Structures are given as structure tokens and as C-alpha cells.
Structure 1
Amino acid sequence: MKTLKDAKVGDVVTVARLHGEGPVKRRIMDMGITKGTVLKVQKVAPLGDPMELTVRGYELSVRKADAEMIELV
């Protein structure tokens, strides 16, 4: 299973499904990350946390812990 955490800078990926439950999953969905969404990894901080993504035309920073919950196609 490949997750967003495994993606490298410059990768364009598609979300297959979200893991997690309750408020955490809801927060990820509220940020615009849902099944079928295309994400582009723009930057990763020097220590790997957070990642900067382009999602639906805007920039978004995501923590590694949240990135692990996002399964990719």
C-alpha cells in the first residue's frame, strides 16, 4: 500500500482512499483531499515534516502523520 508519505517532490498522485476515523478523517476531507483528488508534492521540509502539496489549485501543508492516512492509486 503506497501512501502520500512515500511520494517524492514533483510527484503527481491520485488519492485512492482515506484511512483513519472521526475528526482526523473529517479534517483531511475538509482540506479537499477526497477519493480521486489529484495531488502534486511541491516541497518537503528538511526533516520530512510537513509536506507542501497543491490540492485543487491551492497550496496545503500536511503533516507526515496525516500523509500516512492517505492511500494512493
Structure 2
Amino acid sequence: MNNEIHTVKSFDFLARSFAHMHSQGRGLNIRAVTGNMSKEQQNWFQERYTHYCEQGICASLLEIEHSYR
């Protein structure tokens, strides 16, 4: 159980890090990142990655909006 929690935290950190890289315009291949993961891990990772990408997009839009005020 403890190992499972550690794995989840590591995957979440990776998802957040790769989403941050994506927001900076760095090219990355998510399939290569998730290639050795189980299907369950791939799905979970992709959900978190998408979540963080959407957060980054929203944050960027808010920054743009506030810069025009």
C-alpha cells in the first residue's frame, strides 16, 4: 500500500511537470512517457496530465486578461 501511494505521488509529479513543459512550448511525446505503464497507470497519468494542462491554459488566459486591464 505504501509503495502504491509513492507511485501515485510520483506519477502526479510527472504529470504536472510534463504539463508545465507543454505550457512552455516544449515538444514531448506522452506515448513515449507512458509506454512502459500499465493501461490503468496510463489512463490515470493521462487524466492528471490533461487536468494540469487545462489548469495551465486557464492560468495563461487569466494572465493575458489581467495584462490588458
TM-score for the superposition, normalised by structure 1: 0.29
Q: For the pair shown, which has the larger CA radius of gyration, 1 or 2?
A: 2
TM-score for the superposition, normalised by structure 2: 0.30
Q: Which has the higher strand share?
A: 1
